[in-house]
């Protein structure tokens, strides 16, 4: 079996605030991504997804647990410094305009990516910035233009071309489609998938939008308030969700197969990560909560669910109570 490219084990990332206890934005997460595999990480904003992405890229130090990329521990070197080996992990951010230099031509910015790979000691394969542009569906002439001359979707394609030019083994997309209009979202997500899979790189695709993640991911991990609450193949999570939070996320997605069924809004808001609820973090919003839920935090069990409604058994997950 091919070893994973990325292994995240019992990761805790916390933010320090003056005069107050630290906030655990990521509170014990384990996750892996294999070569050529697309893993979708979904959850509402504020659930810790972006903090996890920054830690994976070596931009934030873990408080506990570990991250291994290609068999080597990921360690941040300090503010704004990254281990050169980590340039094989490339991130595509939410705001493509903010991540591109407005004063430099597109071709020069993609050439930076090519130089990054060369500085790492990788033999060049001769691909030019213009060729990277055509791979993301833009004309070669875009190389001589500037970021403001493009639409949001085109700018995100440019950001992807620049990331690809650094010849990553892992692409991390942190809400890469949420600033785009609806027509560009699926196109950019599908493009990221095909480019990652073609090159044998892994893709960790982070989004609050389960309907887009479903289009491109092989596996889905659902995150709530710093913890993974459900994980499984895309078909399992989309067609037969088990965790009440996953069910609520799905109910909030407008579905073409619903024959007019209106999406249901998720009840309440994500609690403050500085003061997570005792027991199951989802219990104040959970329609299936019972007395044990407020007392005891459920762990992610074999079968991929963290919920007291289920127990692991030799035959997979065993429901202990009706979820309704
Ligand atoms: Fe709901 Fe309890 Fe399961 Fe948490 S553990 S999701 S509160 S049923």
Ligand 1 pocket test target in 227, 241, 277, 283 with most atoms within 8 Å of CB: 283
Mean pLDDT of the chain: 89
- 178 near 208, Cβ under 8 Å? yes
The ligand 1 atom at the shortest distance from the C-alpha of residue 245 is 6
Q: What is the pLDDT of residue 264?
A: 65
Q: Mapping DSSP to helix (H, G, I), strand (E, B) and coil, where does residue 16 land?
A: strand
Average pLDDT over residues 159-184: 91
With b for 16 or more beta-carbon neighbours within 10 A and e for fewer, the 173-212 pattern comes to bbbbbebbeeebbbebbebbbebbbeeebbbbbbbbbbbb
Separation between Cα atoms, residue 59 and residue 80, nearest integer Å: 7
pLDDT single digits (tens) 179-191? 888 888 889 999 9
The torsion defined by the Cα of 24, 216, 232 and 307, in degrees rounded to 10, comes to: 50
Place of tokens 């959970």: 286
Average pLDDT over residues 77-103: 81
Sheet of 38-42, strands arranged across: 89-92, 170-174, 202-207, 38-42, 219-224, 227-233
For a pLDDT cut of 70, what percent of the chain falls above it? 93
pLDDT single digits (tens) 6-17? 999 999 999 888
CATH 3.40.50.300 domain locations along the chain? 6-240
pLDDT over 60 (residue 260): no
pLDDT over 90 (residue 312): no
Average pLDDT over residues 71-85: 75
Q: Which CATH class is domain 6-240?
A: alpha beta
289 CB under 6 A from ligand 1?
A: yes
pLDDT over 80 (residue 255): no
- 97 near 156, Cβ under 8 Å? no
Question: What separation in Å is there between the alpha carbon of 287 and the centre of ligand 1?
Answer: 8
Question: What separation in Å is there between the alpha carbon of 32 and the centre of ligand 1?
Answer: 25
pLDDT single digits (tens) 13-64? 998 888 888 899 999 999 999 999 999 999 988 889 999 999 999 888 899 9
Separation between Cα atoms, residue 217 and residue 206, nearest integer Å: 10
The pTM of this model reads: 0.93
Poorest-confidence range of 81-85, 212-216, 230-234?
81-85
Separation between Cα atoms, residue 310 and residue 199, nearest integer Å: 39
Separation between Cα atoms, residue 161 and residue 198, nearest integer Å: 14
Q: What is the pLDDT of residue 81?
A: 62
């Amino acid at each position: 079996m091919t070893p994973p490219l990325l292994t995240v084990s019992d990761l805790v990332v916390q933010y320090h605030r003056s005069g107050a206890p630290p906030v655990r934005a990521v509170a014990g997460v384990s996750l892996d991504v294999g070569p050529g595999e697309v893993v979708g990480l979904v959850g509402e904003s504020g659930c810790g997804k972006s903090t996890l992405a920054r830690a994976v890229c070596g931009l934030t130090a873990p408080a506990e647990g570990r991250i291994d990329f290609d068999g080597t521990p990921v360690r941040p070197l300090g503010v704004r410094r990254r281990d050169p080996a980590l340039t094989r992990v490339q991130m595509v951010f939410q705001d493509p305009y903010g991540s591109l230099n407005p004063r430099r031509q597109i071709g020069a910015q993609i050439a930076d990516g090519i130089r990054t790979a060369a500085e790492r000691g990788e033999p060049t394969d001769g691909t030019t910035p213009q060729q990277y542009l055509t791979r993301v569906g833009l004309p070669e002439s875009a190389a001589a233009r500037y970021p403001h001359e493009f639409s949001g979707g085109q700018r995100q394609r440019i950001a992807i071309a620049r990331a690809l030019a650094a010849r990553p083994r892992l692409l991390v997309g942190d809400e890469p489609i949420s600033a785009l209009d609806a027509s560009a979202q699926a196109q950019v997500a599908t493009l990221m998938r095909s480019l990652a899979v073609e090159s044998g790189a892994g893709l960790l695709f982070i989004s609050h939008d389960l309907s887009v993640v479903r289009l491109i991911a092989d596996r889905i991990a659902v995150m709530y308030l710093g913890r993974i609450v459900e994980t499984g193949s895309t078909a399992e999570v989309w067609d037969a969700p088990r965790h009440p939070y996953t069910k609520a996320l799905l109910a909030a997605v407008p579905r073409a197969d619903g024959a007019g069924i209106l999406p249901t809004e998720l009840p309440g808001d994500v609690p403050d990560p500085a003061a997570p609820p005792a027991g199951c973090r989802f219990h104040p919003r959970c329609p299936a909560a019972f007395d044990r839920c407020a007392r005891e935090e459920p762990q992610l069990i074999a079968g991929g669910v963290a919920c007291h409604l289920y127990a692991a058994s030799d035959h997979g997950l065993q429901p202990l109570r009706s979820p309704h």
